[in-house]
Structure 1
Amino acid sequence: MDAIRVSKVEQVQFAKGGTISTGTVHLTAHHIIFRYDDAGEKEMWMPYPLISLVNRQPQTLQGQAQLNFHTRTFESFSLTFRRESDASDVFESVKELTVSASVSQLYAFFYNPSPPFPTNDGWSLYSPRDEYIRMGVGTRSKAWRFTDLNKDYSFCATYPARIVVPTRISDTTLQYASKYRSKCRIPVLSYLHWANYGSITRSSQPMVGITQNRSVQDEKLIEAIFQSHWSPESRVSNANVYGATPTNLIIDARPTVNAVANTAKGAGTENMDYYKEGKKVYLGIDHIHTMRESLAKVVEALREADQLLASINQSLPDQVADLAVLDKGALRRSGWLRHISAILEGTVIIAKNVHVNSSHVLIHCSDGWDRTSQLSALSQLCLDPFYRTIRGFEILIEKDWLSFGHKFLDRCGHLSSEKFFLSTTGGADTGSGAEAAQAFLASVQNRFTSQHHIKETSPVFHQFLEAVRQVQRQFPDRFEFNERFLQQLYYHLYSCQFGTFLFNCEKDRRVGDGGPPPSERTISVWDFFNSPTEMSLNRNATYHSTLDDPTRRTSDSDMGVLLPNPKDVRFWHELYGRTDEEMNGRFVAPQIRDAEHVGSLDNADDDPVVQEISAQEATPSSGSGGKWADSSLAGSLGVLPAPVRAHSPGLGTGLRDISASLPDLPSSRAAPSRTPTPLSGGAPGRAPNSQASQSLLNTPIWSRAKQPDILSGGGVKSVWGKLSSNASAAFSVVQDAYAGVAKDLMNTGIGQGGEETAAKTSELRGRDVLSAWGQERSTSPLPPSSTSYQRAPVTENPWSISPTSQQHISIFDENPWGVPSEAESTASVATPPRPSAIEPMSPLPLDPTVVPIPVTSAARVVTPSVLGRNSPQAMARSRAQSPPNASKIDNTDPLGVGLL
């Protein structure tokens, strides 16, 4: 090939894991090969798509040049060449062979196994009709039917050709309902439970928008799904039906922030006022960009450990094997385990709702092919023992990942990019100025053309495999396949050796572009896994299928349904090439859930997304309040109002509600204490206007009307809704306070613009002329050295609650330094107060230990001079020595130096 500048380079140093070897580098059309000079070592073969980053280092003083390679299998190694030209040729060749212009250039279209695999039915392994009949569609339940509406992929390009929908809904209704769902991905059946008529359906987000659109056809479709346990011919509501579906759920996997942001694009989430058959739950699972950044932090920690090992090897080669240099703190800060824990929490909720409550669950995120596939596949893995066999797991991936349109090509980044090839040589190969300018323009053009492709990458399927590994580790006897099977599956996800994971949807695999389809031109990865050699290596020796017998009646029987512990998560150290001690340590603290989780929403009044949309509609397009006039602009900029950004610090109320209806949830917690909030006024989710907020501030907190507790009675509402109104009110107060600051930026002098101007521009002046918090500044401030201690009357601080009772048992209760000794207490009581020892006009600051500090009616100031002096006579003397205005001062500073 023309891309290969050099096919063979000898006497190359190969460094990996702190060891250095010598050998020969070979470049082929699809692999980079390193052959050791030591005949006992096995050759290293690496497909080009596995390369994630190549860094070309500058030439050393000895004339050597080094290339650092990082792979998608979390390995790092370096090749050191004796000549700079060899390193340059290898670098450019690998870049040309890794960055592909089309999928047809990948290794899968040229791979031909020799000898051929014994089985060649990998592309026909999954039959939608056979699999849904196995579940009971058309046999146990007549409420579901197959439809050929998408047989030519004209109805929905990203859906499979054969889909299962409720029998009561016609194809015409489906056509209308598709206009209301993103990418026309309507709710369709993914799983029918073997023990009851509970179901798992999946879809994309509804096209609600800012104007709160609705679709009667979509509402009827979901109503038919939630009533599918009844016979389609007759609905007898007074009959005793097993599993009367009291807890039908619509699972929105996104945080509420993402749902609000999507309303600016015309999408959003369901308004539960129109879906009376069920409730809605927000799982708070972050989007693909957050997952990509989280894994990048894990990879960065692994690379830093490899670099540290390589540097230590140069000075201490005999001690590298005994060193643990991986930063466990960086691994925890990545949040990777927290994201997996959030996915497992949603999985348990879905599995319990289907199996225990015999109810129905509709899952969706934004487009329904990332988080939706994770939750749907993991839930079925826990519910159905068939999917825990090797063949069943392959069918599960074919059904919920490949046929339902997960974007493997975009998420895995198979085509790579030139951005992943970094050179620090400073352009040594550039020639004339024209060539340098042309190279610069080419790099700029490549930056704009490939940026979208890079942003689409995300380890979604990798995250699913790690979640499966967590369940497999907790139930080691319930899976027919072992850990090696998952690790090999991850390897071939990125190797591009087979055509299974190369495309974004079933249409791209089954329909050819002017020629045979890719399913006929490439080999399926299941042919490789189902070969006798791989089957023997991937079987779990401790697997016991009898444990999944639903008729088994023992103390540990579970009818074959697994409910994993979402908090028992650990790094998959085998995948990362590390030991369990190195990555997880001897003890793993419980993963604290700081992501939002809102659930069990019955109607729109409880939905924080609907409340925020209503608040945006009520907000005027112009004004001095500083609020977002255009919600679409706010969503596009990623800046959302305060109520949307608030998060529950722990497990939300929704999770506790679901846990109450789904018994024996391992992560159940006690409900938090209910604390009244001072700033809660007006409609939920709406900020009060300036007049209302001013009136609210001028009213004492203890005399304000108590707002009803949203956590008791009247339906279920999460802490999110409570925090939203408070944050909105506080946000409005702050904006009103600083509304006119921008107009007075040029007038910052005191006394030039009057008291009003001085009040507006107080934050622009120095600290020496500013008053304390909650105090009004006098128009003629005293110099700092003055012995007079008078202040103007204070204004009420809306964020501080004054105590209603002035009873103090002991003055020592307010001493932050502890209770003094008995001798000190006696001496302090007997000692009279000392007069001020500060000279007038002294440049030194006031000494709080010698200056008499006034005692207010709100709080008593404790100083060493008056410590323990709580008798009525001492209090009378203190009041007599206080300044005239001391009774009006609200000084809560224990040292009496004031708040700066």
Structure 2
Amino acid sequence: MELSELIEVTRVRDAFMRKGPRPSQIGDICIFGHHLIFAPSAVNAGGKEAITDNSEEFWLLHKAVDRVLCEPISKDNPQRGGLLALKCKNFLIIIFEIGDIEICRATARTIEALSNINGFLHDYAFFYNSPFTILDDGWSAFDPEQEFARLMTSTDAFRISSVNENFTVCSSYPDKVIVPKGIGDDYLKISATFRDGGRFPVLSYFHRETRSPIVRCSQPLIGPTNRRCREDETIINSMITLNRGYIIDTRSKSSTTAAKAKGGGAEPQGNYRQWRYVQCPIPRQREIHDALTKMVDVCSERKISSDRWVGRVGQAGWLSAVAASLGAAANVAQCIYSEGCKEVPVVIHGGEGVDSTLIASSLAQILLDSDARTIRGFESVIEREWICAGHPFSLRNTHCAYAEGTVTGPFESPVFLVFLDAVHQMIVQYPLSFEFDEQFLIFLFEHTYASEFGSFLGNSEKEKKENGIRKKTVSLWSHVHHPENLKTFVNACYHPTPGVIWPSVAPQSIRIWERLFFRWQRSDNSWSKPEAETIQSLSDHWKLREKELIVKASSLRRSIVELARELKVSSPV
């Protein structure tokens, strides 16, 4: 199929951008295979010359569009033209006025078709030519064997296994996994038949200080008949050395019971006697999806009283999902870092093991390990715990808050955004402990839904290999690692915090992510063009001023530390 076959209208002249990422203006809409381009006219709506800052073309990937709406400007007089509304996956809403209603409808149909192509083989990432020189290839930046060597510097209790070569045992795992050293591949294959989706226990993280591993898998398929797998029990029990371990289930008790009736379930205490079973519920996919939809709707509503608005934010459930995710991760970290305890293994699973399980395991690593709070360490967590671990990005992120796919709808959910928001909460509470800022998180959020890079394409490493994604596309990390881009994400106030951080999960500590949910509010049509330009100018000025003050504060802090050291050296014993 050629994308040009879906294009009914290639150019719409004199469209008026009523609402969008810039002040209202007239221009032409040009539609290509992957992009919509809005090219402002030489004159604005008032007949005066357009301001230079707003005369640049605005490019929008069709994949970034979540929902397309079209309606007449006046139902009584269709001849006045139509309104074309594009609701984007990053919560941006663009509204165009088009003089001809039929052209407006044809434009809507075109964008609707181009933004809802099944699969990802026609995505822009396969056609993108990198304008920058790749200095650090992101596809090889996190080699499995190098990651294994970095994790296992203080133990020989685990090994790299090629049991999943060619993805024959588990389609959602990578071809190489880290497993307990004394366990043979034949046991892993049998365990895979006992775990949902074949996701047998694999190492996620090893905490050097306490010599405690975090292992993740999917739910055991015990079913109503209490099926048993001695090989799986051997694998799990082989990790016990000094102390009893913990099995963390990210489902509620009712969800676990319902899963057992359908063939799933949880580890029977009688068969896993050396393990404590703990439930740390994280909302399910559908709950998370509905919570984001409600949250975005509430954040766009500004005409209700503050008391009612706060109540609606709570009822949306998004902040509760973020708090529950942090709480589950904190419980994992507490098991690993219990005072006086060493070698306490933790096994994490939910249902399929590709959603809430990954939230808990990845957030726990950020709590426990200061290296995971650096830019490269954080990328490593995402690469290892999300991309390679089989989170189905293409399926979960087909749509966002405004729409659902006719086929993919039941599987769509902003699970990864919950993870990013939880990290944002950590940054708010520990602003000096992270090498990156919240802008980096927003950048990642946008690229998971629509991107010119291939890192988040596909649902597993198997799909990446079958479709040649690693060979035919550019890695997002290649873009991030370029010096000119990297400096835009660095937290100038960064001061490494060794060891564990313990963020509060109390309701009053969990904040709305303002720069994510409210960042497009400044483009509201209630502002005139001069007002919008003034606000933008002030915003840019204070952002620059904020960075200058942060750099100055960081410099003063280093000076104080150096003076303290000098005084300590010079003072008599």
Note the 1:486-501 alignment, pairs <5 A: 486-501=441-456
Q: Structure 2 vs 1, CA of residues 9 and 452 (structure 1 numbering), >3 Å: closer, same or farther?
A: closer
- Cα deviation 1:333-364 (Å, max 9, x = unaligned): 10111111111111111112112233111000
Distance 1:151 1:579 in 2: 46
2:17 matched to 1:14? Answer: yes
Distance 1:151 1:90 in 2: 47
Q: Structure 2 vs 1, CA of residues 296 and 500 (structure 1 numbering), >3 Å: closer, same or farther?
A: same
The answer to whether the 8 Å contact 1:178/1:185 transfers is: yes
- Cα deviation 1:714-751 (Å, max 9, x = unaligned): xxxxxxxxxxxxxxxxxxxxxxxxxxxxxxxxxxxxxx
Moved over 4 A (4+): 323-326, 578-581
Distance 1:129 1:463 in 2: 29
2:145 matched to 1:129? Answer: yes
**Residue in structure 2 matching 1:563, options 479, 482, 502:** 502
- Cα deviation 1:687-730 (Å, max 9, x = unaligned): xxxxxxxxxxxxxxxxxxxxxxxxxxxxxxxxxxxxxxxxxxxx
- Cα deviation 1:757-802 (Å, max 9, x = unaligned): xxxxxxxxxxxxxxxxxxxxxxxxxxxxxxxxxxxxxxxxxxxxxx
- Cα deviation 1:832-861 (Å, max 9, x = unaligned): xxxxxxxxxxxxxxxxxxxxxxxxxxxxxx
The answer to whether the 8 Å contact 2:128/2:452 transfers is: yes
**Residue in structure 2 matching 1:383, options 353, 357, 368:** 368
Note the 1:80-229 alignment, pairs <5 A: 80-114=97-131, 116-136=132-152, 139-227=153-241
What does residue 726 of structure 1 align with?
Answer: none
Q: Structure 2 vs 1, CA of residues 196 and 463 (structure 1 numbering), >3 Å: closer, same or farther?
A: same
- For residue 124 of structure 1, give the secondary structure of its aligned residue in structure 2: coil
Note the 1:127-526 alignment, pairs <5 A: 127-136=143-152, 139-227=153-241, 244-246=242-244, 248-305=245-302, 327-356=309-338, 357-358=341-342, 359-413=344-398, 420=403, 451-512=406-467, 517-526=468-477
Task: Using the TM superposition, give the Cα deviation of residue 146 of structure 1 relative to its aligned residue in structure 2, in angstroms.
Answer: 1.5
Letter in 2 for 1:540: N
The answer to whether the 8 Å contact 2:67/2:87 transfers is: yes
What does residue 72 of structure 1 align with?
Answer: 89
What does residue 588 of structure 1 align with?
Answer: none
Letter in 1 for 2:334: K
Task: Using the TM superposition, give the Cα deviation of residue 281 of structure 1 relative to its aligned residue in structure 2, in angstroms.
Answer: 0.8
**Residue in structure 2 matching 1:577, options 492, 501, 518:** 518
What does residue 5 of structure 1 align with?
Answer: 8
The answer to whether the 8 Å contact 1:302/1:326 transfers is: no
Task: Using the TM superposition, give the Cα deviation of residue 59 of structure 1 relative to its aligned residue in structure 2, in angstroms.
Answer: 4.9
**Residue in structure 2 matching 1:29, options 27, 33, 51:** 33
- Cα deviation 1:114-148 (Å, max 9, x = unaligned): 2x333251111111211121122xx5212211211
Distance 1:276 1:213 in 2: 16
What does residue 529 of structure 2 align with?
Answer: none
Determine what percentage of the aligned residue pairs are the same residue. Answer: 31
Task: Using the TM superposition, give the Cα deviation of residue 303 of structure 1 relative to its aligned residue in structure 2, in angstroms.
Answer: 4.0
- For residue 175 of structure 2, give the secondary structure of its aligned residue in structure 1: coil
What does residue 540 of structure 2 align with?
Answer: none
Q: Structure 2 vs 1, CA of residues 534 and 577 (structure 1 numbering), >3 Å: closer, same or farther?
A: farther
TM score, norm. by length of structure 1: 0.53
- Computing the radius of gyration from Cα coordinates, the structure with the larger value is 1
37-46 or 253-262: bigger deviation: 37-46
Letter in 2 for 1:198: S
Q: Structure 2 vs 1, CA of residues 56 and 465 (structure 1 numbering), >3 Å: closer, same or farther?
A: same
- For residue 294 of structure 1, give the secondary structure of its aligned residue in structure 2: helix
The answer to whether the 8 Å contact 1:301/1:326 transfers is: no
Letter in 1 for 2:261: A
Distance 2:433 2:73 in 1: 54
Task: Using the TM superposition, give the Cα deviation of residue 69 of structure 1 relative to its aligned residue in structure 2, in angstroms.
Answer: 1.6
Task: Using the TM superposition, give the Cα deviation of residue 160 of structure 1 relative to its aligned residue in structure 2, in angstroms.
Answer: 1.3
Letter in 1 for 2:220: P
Aligned length: 500
Task: Using the TM superposition, give the Cα deviation of residue 496 of structure 1 relative to its aligned residue in structure 2, in angstroms.
Answer: 2.9
Distance 1:257 1:144 in 2: 35
Letter in 1 for 2:428: R
- Cα deviation 1:48-67 (Å, max 9, x = unaligned): 11111111113522522111
- Cα deviation 1:65-113 (Å, max 9, x = unaligned): 1112211111212111111122022112112211213311111111112
More helix by share: 2
The answer to whether the 8 Å contact 1:119/1:527 transfers is: yes
The answer to whether the 8 Å contact 2:37/2:57 transfers is: yes
The answer to whether the 8 Å contact 1:54/1:420 transfers is: no
- For residue 347 of structure 1, give the secondary structure of its aligned residue in structure 2: helix
- For residue 2 of structure 1, give the secondary structure of its aligned residue in structure 2: helix
Distance 1:579 1:94 in 2: 21
Distance 1:129 1:407 in 2: 23
Distance 1:303 1:29 in 2: 31
The answer to whether the 8 Å contact 1:34/1:43 transfers is: yes
Task: Using the TM superposition, give the Cα deviation of residue 420 of structure 1 relative to its aligned residue in structure 2, in angstroms.
Answer: 4.8
- For residue 237 of structure 2, give the secondary structure of its aligned residue in structure 1: helix
The answer to whether the 8 Å contact 2:296/2:517 transfers is: no
- For residue 293 of structure 1, give the secondary structure of its aligned residue in structure 2: helix
Distance 2:26 2:167 in 1: 54
The answer to whether the 8 Å contact 2:426/2:503 transfers is: yes
Q: Structure 2 vs 1, CA of residues 164 and 59 (structure 1 numbering), >3 Å: closer, same or farther?
A: same
Structure 1: state its 5+ residue gaps.
228-243, 310-322, 422-449, 549-559, 582-900
What does residue 536 of structure 1 align with?
Answer: 487
The CA RMSD measured in Å over matched residues stands at 2.4
TM score, norm. by length of structure 2: 0.83
- Cα deviation 1:353-408 (Å, max 9, x = unaligned): 11223311100000111001101000011111111111111111110001110000
Q: Structure 2 vs 1, CA of residues 542 and 580 (structure 1 numbering), >3 Å: closer, same or farther?
A: farther
Distance 1:120 1:500 in 2: 15
Distance 1:451 1:218 in 2: 38
The answer to whether the 8 Å contact 1:250/1:280 transfers is: yes
What does residue 528 of structure 2 align with?
Answer: none
Q: Structure 2 vs 1, CA of residues 579 and 495 (structure 1 numbering), >3 Å: closer, same or farther?
A: closer
Task: Using the TM superposition, give the Cα deviation of residue 578 of structure 1 relative to its aligned residue in structure 2, in angstroms.
Answer: 4.2
Q: Which structure has the higher relative contact order (CA within 8 Å, separation 6+)?
A: 2
- For residue 233 of structure 2, give the secondary structure of its aligned residue in structure 1: helix
The answer to whether the 8 Å contact 1:15/1:78 transfers is: yes
Letter in 1 for 2:34: H
Distance 2:186 2:118 in 1: 41
The answer to whether the 8 Å contact 2:222/2:263 transfers is: yes
Task: Using the TM superposition, give the Cα deviation of residue 510 of structure 1 relative to its aligned residue in structure 2, in angstroms.
Answer: 2.2
Distance 1:101 1:134 in 2: 39
Distance 1:577 1:543 in 2: 25
The answer to whether the 8 Å contact 1:412/1:457 transfers is: yes
Distance 2:146 2:24 in 1: 54
The answer to whether the 8 Å contact 1:14/1:21 transfers is: yes
- Cα deviation 1:238-258 (Å, max 9, x = unaligned): xxxxxx424x21001001111
- For residue 80 of structure 2, give the secondary structure of its aligned residue in structure 1: coil
Q: Structure 2 vs 1, CA of residues 71 and 325 (structure 1 numbering), >3 Å: closer, same or farther?
A: farther
Distance 1:20 1:170 in 2: 65
Distance 2:475 2:204 in 1: 23
The answer to whether the 8 Å contact 1:208/1:214 transfers is: yes
Distance 2:182 2:445 in 1: 41
The answer to whether the 8 Å contact 1:409/1:502 transfers is: yes
